[in-house]
Amino acid sequence: MIDFNPLLADTDLPDFAAIKAEHVIPAVEQLIADHRAAIDAITQSSSDAFAAIILPAERADFALTRGWSPVSHLNSVADTPELRAAHGAAVEILTTYMMEAGQNRAHHAAIERIAKRADYATLPDAERRAVELALRGFRLSGVALEGEARTRFLDIGVELSQLSTAFGNAVLDATEAWHEHIADEQMLDGISESDKAILAAYAEEKGLSGWLVTLRQPSVMAVLSHAKNRDLRYRVYRAYNIRASEQADDPSFDNSARIEAILKLRHESAQLLGFADAAALSLETKMAADAAEALSFLSDLATRARPIAESELAQARAFAVERLGITTLEPWDMGFVAEAMRRTLHGVDQEEIKTYLPLPRVQAGTCALIAHLFGVRLVENPGVSVWHKDVIFYDVVHEAGEVIAGVYLDLFARAGKRGGAWMDVCRPRFRDADKFHRPIAYLNTNFAPPAGDQPSCITHQDVETFLHEFGHVLHHLLTEVDLPSIGGISGVEWDAVELPSQFMENFAWDRASLLPLTSHVTTNEPLPEALFDRMLKARHFQAGLAVLRQIEFATFDLLLHRDFDPASGAKVMDVLAKVRREISVFQPPEWNRFPHAFGHIFAGGYAAGYYSYLWAELLSSDAFELFANVDTAGGGATAFRREILAMGASRTAAENFHAFAGRPPQIDAFLRLRGLAA
């Protein structure tokens, strides 16, 4: 018997130190019971008042999110067998309930009463937007389905949730399962001392001497970018790119069957709702009108990028032969050759740049940048309960001194934490009568941890990643919308949700913004102006290849979901091969199994939506150029905060952009910033 359950406590922040696996199921059962009771109370009323229907539902959803978010987060950053089991069982219970709640016709009818009011058009814009999105949510949850179709839709939802969780777990397990113990330091020739210290720490973690090469991101990047040992690069590249597939040495984590099942169920679910395919369903909640528009956008970019990419590849091949003695350029050589080219042709050495980017300085400089742009201070609060000793919590303090929000930073790669970088919602902003719930976010990265008494030093690309995720965080924290369903990132069209994040990336390339983030790890000198100039000149190095790679992923994702045929199955590798023939200029080996670890579309929210990164980058590039041409002392940032960050989904993304820019988005700035302009 559990006397106290921290997941049910009505506190400003979760007590992570107190949360245990045994709390999860009882908490979820109670959260569902409370939510059901709240919705029942709404449906028993005949009111058509917004305050009697929408607000109680927002309150119920808030309570459910407050209790569940810490569990979902811990599953991503502090995986244990006990938590994984509890999380998996809870996901099934919660998904079943939420699918049923999405088909609650009495609740749907109550919201429809608001929309049918004679004075509906006079309601505040945000209230009408909340009603419209709620009705759309019910429609896409199958509220109109009958009989067997209704039951089948519910069953599919639960099964898809289970498969998505299993897919992500398999990638995490496969990543942790592979490692190579290195006893001879000569094998690590070319890898920096700081990176070797990280590999030594990985070995120590397992009670080994020497060094341990793993598939965690800091290790993979160190080997593929800097190791002179070509065979080692090959082994790491191969292991990383066949993770969770039938090609791996240990195929027990193979995601092949899960991918097939996920695509089949998504297709069936979309057709039950009356859509032709899963891509059509996905695009229903995005800015792009349909898959054809998104694919046309990608095709146009590919046409622009391909000649540039072909030239870049030819240059890389020639350099590899002439300077490195590599007669046949292979994928496991590409990162190594690219780094050598940056050093030789542009005078840009990523390892040198890293010495000017100790993470504590980057954090402090980022906080100062945010204060300058948006008028809020990030103040470290060491008294907050966290899940790992390295986690930092910042209070977000308004100009007047009021704490208006908060954010957790979990920055280092470690066992039990999934790879990549992401932001997630801990708690949304909600003004409920006289109580104000501050928005709280999680910011997660997988940077290399400190080694010994030296701080973690990160790459310039890591700085871009850090600023990117802070863009998402600011979108969530600086909302001025008091309804959780349309505040912050909630309800924002998925192909626009990357706008603030990619907007922030640009500050990594602005001299005045970047220099305060730099301080040499031993001399404390800022990044030299001459080095920054060389970085700037090399900004578009292999830009065509990078854009084509994103286009390849995005096109593959859309075609996989649009063209799925139940009679023949997904044919995932065939689809990918076709896309690569048409788009890519540098083909990976046949055994590459990139899709098997493509968590964005199989274990995340980007299914038939990966194109959103490029789509939103068009918006962000245009917005940043407009910002830069306004008053950089604050005018542009003030408008960006007011019209985009503060508004959330209380207007459409197109309306938000138009309010900021005074016009629709244009592609020119994107082409310039990407180095694709003619």
Q: Residues 345-354: what's their mean pLDDT?
A: 95
Residues 354 and 194 sit within 8 Å (Cβ to Cβ)? yes
Same domain, 342 and 365: no
Residues 403 and 397 sit within 8 Å (Cβ to Cβ)? yes
Res 169: pLDDT: 96
Which of 501, 529, 557 is the last residue before a domain boundary? 529
Res 635: pLDDT: 60
The pTM for the full model equals 0.95
More reliable by pLDDT, 3 or 121:
121
The CATH number of residue 566's host domain is 1.10.1370.10
Residue 135 reports pLDDT greater than 70: yes
Which of 610, 627, 660 is the last residue before a domain boundary? 610
pLDDT band at 542; cut points 50, 70, 90? very high
| Residues 299, 578: Cα–Cα separation, whole Å | 14
371 found inside a domain: yes
Residue 541 reports pLDDT greater than 70: yes
Angle, helices 147-177/256-272, rounded to nearest 10 degrees: 150
What percent of the chain clears pLDDT 90, i.e. is strictly above it?
A: 96
The H or E element spanning position 212 is: strand 211-214
Residue 513 reports pLDDT greater than 90: yes
Which of 253, 268, 288 is the last residue before a domain boundary? 253
Same domain, 400 and 521: yes
Neighbours of 147 (CB within 10 A): 7
Q: How do residues 561-584 score in pLDDT, each as one tens digit?
A: 999 999 999 999 999 999 999 999
Residue 405 reports pLDDT greater than 90: yes
Residues in the chain: 678
The H or E element spanning position 548 is: helix 543-562
Residue 630 reports pLDDT greater than 80: no
Same domain, 508 and 556: no
Same domain, 246 and 262: no
Residues 6+ apart with CB under 8 A from 108: 135, 138, 143
Q: How do residues 57-81 score in pLDDT, each as one tens digit?
A: 999 999 999 999 999 999 999 999 9
Q: How do residues 298-331 score in pLDDT, each as one tens digit?
A: 999 999 999 999 999 999 999 999 999 999 999 9
Kindly tell me the sign of the dihedral angle through the C-alpha atoms of 85, 445, 219, 606: positive
Same domain, 301 and 427: no
Same domain, 499 and 566: no
Residue 669 reports pLDDT greater than 80: yes
Ranges of H-type helices in 375-491: 460-477
Residue 632 reports pLDDT greater than 60: no
Same domain, 522 and 547: no
| Residues 611, 497: Cα–Cα separation, whole Å | 12
Residue 433 reports pLDDT greater than 90: no
- Both tokens assigned to 590: 């046949």
How confident is the prediction for the chain on average, in pLDDT?
96
Residue 201 reports pLDDT greater than 80: yes
Residue 286 reports pLDDT greater than 60: yes
- The residue range of the domain holding 288 is 256-347+542-610
Same domain, 273 and 420: no
365 found inside a domain: yes
Same domain, 491 and 394: yes
The H or E element spanning position 393 is: strand 392-397
pLDDT band at 1; cut points 50, 70, 90? low
- Least confident range from 364-373, 450-459, 571-580: namely 450-459
Res 174: pLDDT: 97
Q: What are phi and psi of 358, to 5 degrees?
A: -65, 135
Same domain, 317 and 305: yes
664 found inside a domain: no
Residue 653 reports pLDDT greater than 70: yes
Provide the domain count of the chain.
4
Same domain, 367 and 480: yes
445 found inside a domain: yes
Res 631: pLDDT: 56
3-state secondary structure of 157: helix
Res 540: pLDDT: 95
640 found inside a domain: no
The CATH number of residue 79's host domain is 1.20.1050.40
164 found inside a domain: no
Transcribe 636-667 into DSSP letters.
HHHHHIIIIITTTTSS-HHHHHHHHHSS---S
pLDDT band at 3; cut points 50, 70, 90? confident
Amino acid (1-letter code) at residue 431: R
170 found inside a domain: no
**Using CB atoms within 10 A of its CB, is residue 446 exposed (0-12), middle (13-18) or buried (19+)?**
buried
| Residues 389, 143: Cα–Cα separation, whole Å | 45
Name the residues annotated as catalytic: 469
Same domain, 437 and 470: yes
661 found inside a domain: no
